[in-house]
Copies of this chain bind each other. A is one copy, B any other.
Amino acid sequence: MSEQLSRNDTVARLRETVAALHAELVRYNLVAWTSGNVSARVPGQDLMVIKPSGISYDDLRPDNMVVCDLDGVVVEGDLSPSSDTAAHAYVYRAMPDVGGVVHTHSGYATAWAACGEAIPCYLTAQADEFGGEIPVGPFALIGGDDIGKGIVATLSGHRSPAVLMRNHGVFTVGPNAKAAVKAAVMCEDVARTAHLARALGQPLPIAAEDVDSLYARYQNVYGQNAVPSPRR
């Protein structure tokens, strides 16, 4: 099979994946109307697959996803790409291990972002997934590289795959698009529980060494790709 065919197959598969993953944003109530988006890097290419701008989640299909280069220029597709394309593209250029990016305005996480407060690590699930607090990035206007720069600068100092962009919303990254979607779902889940705990009383922090221990274990043991469990 020629290299061109192989690239076409990869893009076709990622169009399916990216279109389908938006349903998880809807299922977990992370988005209203058309306000969140998922993208995936095309491995080995300077390309990404991303949601078209302003199209209803009900109407997303593999064939209306947009393929852009990593400057955000459209290379395949009749529709304009997400208005957040520049931010996704900046992340892919700056972080070579990132294979998927997700952006939402999910309510609880965005409330923390509106206050400019990082989410403290009150929960073992947060230690597992985020390795500590979920950090806040700067205020940035849409339209250039400012959002992308803010994401990358903030994530660089943290284990967290999620960043709360001030007054704006959440960006998450992962080795692939599904992992970035999982991070977006878990970010809203811990943001909500932490908010509810703050409304109730005095949440108890988890000791830093316990956070480290939980994070190390989870990254190695959880799921089906982990060290095998004992078996007779």
One of A7-15, A40-48, A74-82 contacting the partner:
A74-82
The interface residues of chain B lying within 8 Å CB-to-CB of A94 are none
Contact residues of A between 217 and 232, Cβ < 8 Å to B: 217-218, 221-224, 226, 228-232
Query: Quick check: A112 and B200 within 8 Å, CB to CB?
Result: yes
Query: Quick check: A73 and B125 within 8 Å, CB to CB?
Result: no
**Docked pose: A116 CA to B35 CA in angstroms:** 28
A134, CB-defined interface residue at 8 Å: no
Query: Quick check: A125 and B224 within 8 Å, CB to CB?
Result: no
Task: Specify how many copies of this chain sit in the oligomer.
Answer: 4
Query: Quick check: B33 and A182 within 8 Å, CB to CB?
Result: yes
Contact residues of A between 118 and 152, Cβ < 8 Å to B: 122-125, 139, 141-143
A157, CB-defined interface residue at 8 Å: no
A108, CB-defined interface residue at 8 Å: yes
Contact residues of A between 69 and 114, Cβ < 8 Å to B: 72-75, 79-81, 83, 85, 105, 107-108, 110-112, 114
Query: Quick check: A108 and B232 within 8 Å, CB to CB?
Result: no
- 7 interchain residue pairs of minimum CB distance: A54-B223, A111-B196, A114-B197, A32-B189, A111-B197, A115-B201, A114-B122
